[in-house]
A and B are shown apart, each in its own frame.
Chain A
Amino acid sequence: MPLLEVEGLAVDYGAIRAVRDVSLTVEEGELVALVGANGAGKTTTLRAISRLVPVAAGSIRLGGRDLTRLRPHEVTTLGIAHVPEGRGIFPSLTVMENLELATWLRRKDQEGLRRDFDRVFSLFPRLWDRRHQVASTLSGGEQQMLALARALLTRGRVLLLDEPSMGLAPVLVKEIFSILRELNRQGTTILLVEQNAHMALGIAHRGYVLEAGTVVLSGPGPELARSHRVKEAYLGR
């Protein structure tokens, strides 16, 4: 049984159907990429999974459990960790306060938290240096790291990442991607949304291509990266 299973998902914004028919699966330990041009419905798909937008049709299951009727905090409790588009840090809180809020669900587990904080700070040493700084003063790359670190601290079973490379300089994009690959190698299951299709498919086990709210192609990552259709999507036509 796949860890995350989306079947026939549709999402409406008012009268507009933004996502028409999305089915995808993510197995435990996999890194799966969801790529497509701007406006294809990638963000909406992730927002439906973490229950930030109403589901018009279809089902979403995590470890066999239906999520469609739940609320965002309940989905997080069950193991969805969502790093939203634009990072979604709390700008007026310090870096440390941002991280602490991610421990809400297991604030009693002091021992486990200490280990997780150690892990997060060794992955992102710059966050340790800036821990007392107000998050709005971080650079774009640092904010992305903070958002990632926060998601790791919720100890989700699946990490949903919405365009972690957005707005970052090429060298930072490389750094983020190598961190993602490393996290996945250490066992973190990832569903990665990217416009940067080539890089995403390059590190993914499998990939899905989204066009106008519908999955039009799927297959092993590197194979998809070479396909003609993806090149078109990547260029946004």
Chain B
Amino acid sequence: MAIFIQQLLNALQLGGIYALIALGYTMVYGVLKLINFAHGDIFMAGAFIGFFLATYLKLPFVATLLGSMVLTALLGVTVERVAYRPLREAGAPRMSLVITALGVGLFLENFTRATVGAEPRNFPRLLETAAWDLGGVALTSLQFLIIGTALALMLALRYLVRHTLVGKAMRAVADNPEILGLMGVNVDRIIIFTFVLGSTLAAAGGILYAQAYPVLDPYMGIVVGWKAFIAAVVGGIGLIDGAMLGGVILGSTEVFVAAYLPSTYRDGIAFAILILVLLLRPTGLLGRPVVKKV
């Protein structure tokens, strides 16, 4: 039982990080119907930006977190302006946008490798970790902080999308961007705002990830990004709650598979879950079933 609770906390920690990143995929998909394949690398960039803030400017945790969120948001917006918007305005087919996103991701990986180097970097420990033993369950303050920060950010985002006017505008872009313009809303601004939110959460995910697994390298965004993408799809792409649910499911699967099976099975099983869920529910767990028109 103690081990189970222990693993559950590990699962929530990892799942929370996946969920933060998955939200970026799902929001951009929601407004643009674009799978932003560069998003995993935005997460990597967020972690590296945090690394520099913490290592060279010696910033404490909260300042590192906020600083990385702001700078990564700038990066996300730059990518949108430089790479995606010109294609959108030219009316390029969706496939071109997806290929561009892949290209942006490769660029970010190689740019980081060229400037920072390929050797793994150690992210400094920014938090004093207190540990408690509760009847055999080892609780660490770090774990609570990661889970708590992820949860707080997700609830804030959920509130924003559901209840604020800009959140309603984000959902309206998904429905019909042209009509949103007729309401007097500058649709490009809403799209930029979506990239800001997505990149901000990815940066937060990057910093939290680096606190739990403190080794960074330029390619760390690939696998984590794929898994967050799977989480978004499993939950139902385009849905905020789906990203959160998918993140937790994926995190749990990994942690429990690694706990009870040889850890080499971990990723294989994660991807198998994707295929299985999509076979049973093509629109994801929370997605509305596709109605076939006869």
Contact = CB atoms under 8 A, between A and B. Distances in A.
A102 interface: yes
Contact of A90 (B165, B175, B184, B186): B175
B169 A73 contact: no
Give the interface SS of chain B, mostly helix, strand, loop or mixed.
helix
Contacts of B115: none
A185 interface: no
A76 B183 contact: yes
Interface in B158-195: 165, 168-169, 171-172, 174-176, 178-187
A88 B179 contact: yes
Contacts of A89: 179
B178 A52 contact: yes
Nearest to A107: B165
B165 A73 contact: no
A71 interface: yes
Interface residues of A, number: 26
Contacts of B175: 90-93
Interface in B21-52: none
Contacts of B184: 73, 76-77, 102, 104-105, 154
Contact of B185 (A52, A84, A104): A104
A50 interface: yes
A73 B184 CA distance: 4
A100 interface: yes
B176 A101 contact: no
A42 interface: no
A116 interface: no
Contacts of B179: 84, 88-90
Given A100-B165, A104-B165, A92 B174 contact: yes
Contacts of A142: none
Interface of A: 50, 52, 71-73, 76-77, 81-82, 84, 88-93, 97, 100-105, 107, 150, 154
